[in-house]
Structure 1
Amino acid sequence: MIRRMLACGLAAGILAFGAQPASPAAPRPEDRTAPAAFAAPEKERAPRGGPAEATSTCEEAKEAAGGNRPYGCITRISSVRQADAASGSLRAAAGVPLPTNNCTGDEDGYWYATRTWMCEIDPNVHYTYYDQNNKWLGAATFAVAQQLDLDRLSLTWKETDQVKMIAREGTLPANLSISWTTECKSACAPNSTKVWEEQPVGLGQNLEKTYSVTNQPSQKYDFIDHTYKLDIHAAGTIPLTEPITWSGSRFRCDSKQALGNTSGCVVAWFTPTLSVSRAKFGSSADMIAWAQKNLSGHWGLKGTGKPLSRLQNAQQQKDNRRRVCETAWTPDQTVAEVTCDEFPFASSYESGALNGIQNGSECAQVKAVQKDSTGVLATDWPTVTTIGTVTGKEVCVRGHIPSSLNTGVGSYYVKLIREARLADKDEFWVQVTA
Structure 2
Amino acid sequence: MSGTSQKFDRGTFLNFKAAAPEAAGAAATIKPSWTFWEEVECDNSVAVANSTGCVFAKNTPTWQTNTKRYPAAAAYYWVMREKLADHPGSKKYNKPMHRMTDKVQQEHNRTTICNKTGAGKWTAHPDATGDTQGVQCDEFPFAATLESGGIPTPVVNGGICAQLFAQKQDDGTWRLFDDDGYDPPTWKEICGRASMPGKQNGDAGRGPGLSGFFTKARVQNGGAFYMEIPQMEGCNPDDVCVIRP
> TM-score, length-normalised on structure 2?
0.73
Question: Which of structures 1 and 2 has the larger relative contact order (alpha carbons within 8 angstroms, sep 6+)?
Answer: 2
CA deviation string 1:364-391 (max 9, x = no partner): 1001123127xxxxx35x1211123211
Of 210, 216, 220, 1:419 maps to 216
Offset of residue 219 of structure 1: 3.8
**Superposition map of 1:16-415 within 5 A:** 217=1, 219-227=3-11, 247-327=36-116, 328-335=121-128, 336=130, 337-356=134-153, 357-372=155-170, 379=172, 382-387=174-179, 388-410=183-205, 411-415=208-212
Q: Name the CA shift for 1:268/1:281 in 2 (closer, same or farther; >3 Å).
A: same
**Contact 1:291 1:298 (8 Å CA) reproduced:** yes
CA deviation string 1:352-375 (max 9, x = no partner): 0113321111111001123127xx
CA deviation string 1:38-70 (max 9, x = no partner): xxxxxxxxxxxxxxxxxxxxxxxxxxxxxxxxx
How many angstroms apart in 2 are the aligned matches of 1:428 and 1:281?
A: 19
How many angstroms apart in 1 are the aligned matches of 2:107 and 2:56?
A: 29
Partner of 1:115: none
Q: Name the CA shift for 1:264/1:296 in 2 (closer, same or farther; >3 Å).
A: same
Fraction of identical pairs, as percent: 29
RMSD (CA atoms): 2.3
How many angstroms apart in 1 are the aligned matches of 2:186 and 2:13?
A: 58
How many angstroms apart in 1 are the aligned matches of 2:166 and 2:178?
A: 9
Q: Name the CA shift for 1:251/1:398 in 2 (closer, same or farther; >3 Å).
A: same
How many angstroms apart in 2 are the aligned matches of 1:351 and 1:254?
A: 26
How many angstroms apart in 2 are the aligned matches of 1:285 and 1:226?
A: 36
CA deviation string 1:306-325 (max 9, x = no partner): 01111111111111111111
**Contact 2:87 2:95 (8 Å CA) reproduced:** yes
For 2:151, the aligned partner's letter is L
How many angstroms apart in 1 are the aligned matches of 2:127 and 2:219?
A: 37
**Superposition map of 1:10-21 within 5 A:** none
Matched residue count? 199
**SS of corresponding position for 1:322:** helix
How many angstroms apart in 2 are the aligned matches of 1:390 and 1:408?
A: 26
Partner of 1:76: none
CA deviation string 1:205-249 (max 9, x = no partner): xxxxxxxxxxxx56422111355588xxxxxxxxxxxxx976444
Offset of residue 421 of structure 1: 0.7
Q: Name the CA shift for 1:317/1:362 in 2 (closer, same or farther; >3 Å).
A: same
**Contact 2:10 2:40 (8 Å CA) reproduced:** no
Gaps of 5+ in 1: 1-216, 231-243, 374-378
Higher alpha-carbon Rg: 1
For 2:149, the aligned partner's letter is G
How many angstroms apart in 2 are the aligned matches of 1:292 and 1:229?
A: 40
**Contact 1:227 1:245 (8 Å CA) reproduced:** no
Q: Name the CA shift for 1:275/1:219 in 2 (closer, same or farther; >3 Å).
A: closer
How many angstroms apart in 2 are the aligned matches of 1:417 and 1:368?
A: 26
How many angstroms apart in 2 are the aligned matches of 1:305 and 1:395?
A: 16
Q: Name the CA shift for 1:228/1:293 in 2 (closer, same or farther; >3 Å).
A: closer
Gaps of 5+ in 2: 15-32, 232-245
For 1:397, the aligned partner's letter is G
Offset of residue 280 of structure 1: 2.6
**Contact 2:38 2:58 (8 Å CA) reproduced:** no
**Contact 2:7 2:40 (8 Å CA) reproduced:** yes
**Contact 1:355 1:395 (8 Å CA) reproduced:** no
> TM-score, length-normalised on structure 1?
0.43
**Contact 1:219 1:256 (8 Å CA) reproduced:** yes
CA deviation string 1:179-209 (max 9, x = no partner): xxxxxxxxxxxxxxxxxxxxxxxxxxxxxxx
**Contact 1:342 1:397 (8 Å CA) reproduced:** yes
Higher strand share: 1
